Amino acid sequence: MRNIRDHGGGLDAAVTQYGGARADWLDLSTGINPVPYPVGEISADAWSALPDSGAMDRLLTAARRFWNVPDGAEIIAANGASALIAQMPRLADTNDDSVYVPGPTYNEHAAAFRAAGFHVMDQPDSDAPVQVFVHPNNPTGHIKPVEAVTSRRLNIIDESFCDVAPMESHIAQASYDGVVVLKSFGKFWGLAGARLGFAMCTPDVAGVLRDMLGPWTVSGPALEIGARALEDVAWAEATRVRLAADAARLDELVGWKLVGGTDLFRTYEVDDAAAMQDYLAQGHVWSRIFPYSKTWIRLGLPAPDRWDQLRAALA
C-alpha cells in the first residue's frame, strides 16, 4: 500500500496495541468537533437514487452563502477535502515541477505532490511556481497575511480549519487566477465520516476539476446533511462559542505549554511526546504526535461528557 501516511485517526491500531473496547476510547487524535451537526432524517431517495442536480444546487447555494464565496468564483463539492487534495497536483500546469509547502503542516498535500512526481520544498525562499498552505495551519494554528496568498502561479489555500475563525478566511481571493481555496465539512460540523469538501476557484479551473472527479462526487445523504448544516448559521455561531470555551478549558486542564492551534485542536510542547502519548493511551485516550518533533503533542477536544476520562488519564 503506497499511501499509508502518518495521519490522525488510526484509533483501530491503538485499540489493538493497548487493548480495551473501541467505544471506551476517547479519540483526541483528530481536530474533529466532538458535537456533530445532527444528522437528522435522511430521505430514502438520498440513498437509492443517483444524486440529482437539484440536491447539489441546494448544497452549493448554501455553501456559497455560508462562506461568502465571491461572485467571480465557482464552487464545487467532492467527497471530502482529501479527494480534492489528491487532484491538486494535476492543476499545476507548469514545466517546473516544484511546490512550496511551508512546514510543518498537514502531510497529505506534500504526499499528493510527491506521488505526482513533484519536488516538495518547505523553505520560504523557494521560487516554486506552486504553493500550498493550510490556513490556519495544522498543527501550529499559524495565520498568513493576504499578501502570501496570490504570490505564485498556483496558490492552494486549505481552509479546513478556518470555520472557527471565519474573519481570517482568504475566500475573497478565490476569484483570482491561480487561487484555489479548499474547505472541509467534516471537521467543524463533526461529520468526517460523511465525506464532504469544497473547492472555490475560477470557472476554468472548476471545469478542469469537475472533469478530474467525474460525476456524482457527493453521496445523496451528504448532499442533504451538508445543505441543512450550511443553512444553519445559528448552529455555527453557537458552535464557535462552545469550541472556544472548550479549547480554553483544555489548555487549562493539561497545563502544558501551548505551541499553537485552533479552537478544534491544540498543539502542546511536552518533554517527551511519545512517552506522553503512551501514558494517555494507558487511560484509553488517543492523541497525536508527529514524526518531525519529539516534543509536540496535539489534542482535539473531548465531547462534553468525556472530560472526566481525559482528566483521569492525565492524573
Tell me the site size for a copy of itself, rule CB under 8 A: 58
Q: Which stretch binds a copy of itself (CB under 8 A): 49-57, 167-175, 232-240, 304-312?
A: 49-57
Contact 221, 194 (CB under 8 A): yes
| Given 124, 145, 215, 291, the residue binding a copy of itself (CB under 8 A) | 215
Contact 30, 161 (CB under 8 A): no
Nearest to 169 by CA among 66, 245, 76: 66
Q: Determine, following the binding rule CB under 8 A, whether residue 211 of this chain makes contact with a copy of itself.
A: yes
| Given 19, 24, 49, 292, the residue binding a copy of itself (CB under 8 A) | 49
| H or E stretch at 255 | none
Q: CB of 192: closest distance to a copy of itself in angstroms? A: 5
| Given 26, 112, 236, 297, the residue binding a copy of itself (CB under 8 A) | 112
Q: Determine, following the binding rule CB under 8 A, whether residue 47 of this chain makes contact with a copy of itself.
A: yes
Q: Determine, following the binding rule CB under 8 A, whether residue 83 of this chain makes contact with a copy of itself.
A: yes
CA angle 216, 217, 223 (to 5 degrees): 85
Kindly list the distances between the CA atom of residue 301 and the CA atoms of 87, 113, 195, 305, in Å, as whole numbers in the listed order. 30, 31, 20, 11
Contact 26, 302 (CB under 8 A): yes
Residue (218 or 310) nearer to a copy of itself, CB: 218
Q: Determine, following the binding rule CB under 8 A, whether residue 301 of this chain makes contact with a copy of itself.
A: no
Query: Can you give the length of the chain in residues?
Result: 315
Residue (34 or 283) nearer to a copy of itself, CB: 34
Cell triple for 295 = 516534543
- The Cα 49–Cα 221 span in angstroms is 11
In the chain, DSSP assigns E strands to 26-27, 74-78, 98-100, 119-121, 130-134, 154-158, 179-184, 197-201, 257-262, 265-269, 285-286, 288-289, 296-300
Q: Determine, following the binding rule CB under 8 A, whether residue 302 of this chain makes contact with a copy of itself.
A: no
Cell triple for 122 = 518547505
**Contact set for a copy of itself, span 151-190 (CB under 8 A):** 186, 190
Q: CB of 134: closest distance to a copy of itself in angstroms? A: 15
Q: CB of 188: closest distance to a copy of itself in angstroms? A: 12
Q: Determine, following the binding rule CB under 8 A, whether residue 210 of this chain makes contact with a copy of itself.
A: yes
Residue (39 or 143) nearer to a copy of itself, CB: 39
What is the β-pairing status of strands 98-100 and 130-134?
A: parallel
Please give the backbone phi and psi of residue 133, each rounded to the nearest 5 degrees, phi first. -135, 150
Residue (149 or 310) nearer to a copy of itself, CB: 310
| Given 108, 158, 159, 246, the residue binding a copy of itself (CB under 8 A) | 108
| Given 132, 180, 192, 247, the residue binding a copy of itself (CB under 8 A) | 192
Contact residues toward a copy of itself (CB under 8 A) are 1-3, 5, 7-13, 27, 30, 32, 34, 36, 39, 45-54, 79-80, 82-83, 85-86, 108, 112, 115, 186, 190-195, 207-208, 210-222
